[in-house]
Amino acid sequence: MAHNPHAPQPGPEGTPDPAGSTQMFRAFVDEGEPQRRQETAAAPSGPKTGVIVAVVAVVVVLGAVAWLALG
């Protein structure tokens, strides 16, 4: 196994330090937070636009099929 200098080191009793693990987890969570805020600010129009385009495409295809079948 590779040596990881950032991994929590065992304490005097030989057990891992839970505070070190918690600090690393919080740093990991806080690291991705600004990106999530930017994505959520830009995202609301994305899914709605995709659904609208898909519905319009389905209506056009069904209209074309009906026109060919009845024509």
Q: How far apart are CA 21 and CA 62, in angstroms?
A: 57
Alpha helices in 1-71 (DSSP H): 18-42, 45-70
pLDDT of res. 54: 93
Q: What is the pLDDT of residue 24?
A: 77
Would you say the pTM of this structure is higher than 0.85? no
Q: Is the pLDDT of residue 1 over 90?
A: no
pLDDT given at position 53: 93
Is the pLDDT higher at 70 or at 35? 70
Going by C-beta distance under 8 Å and a sequence separation of 6 or more, which residues neighbour residue 43?
Answer: none
Q: Give 16-64 pLDDT, tens digit per residue.
A: 666 667 777 777 787 766 655 555 555 556 678 889 999 999 999 999 9
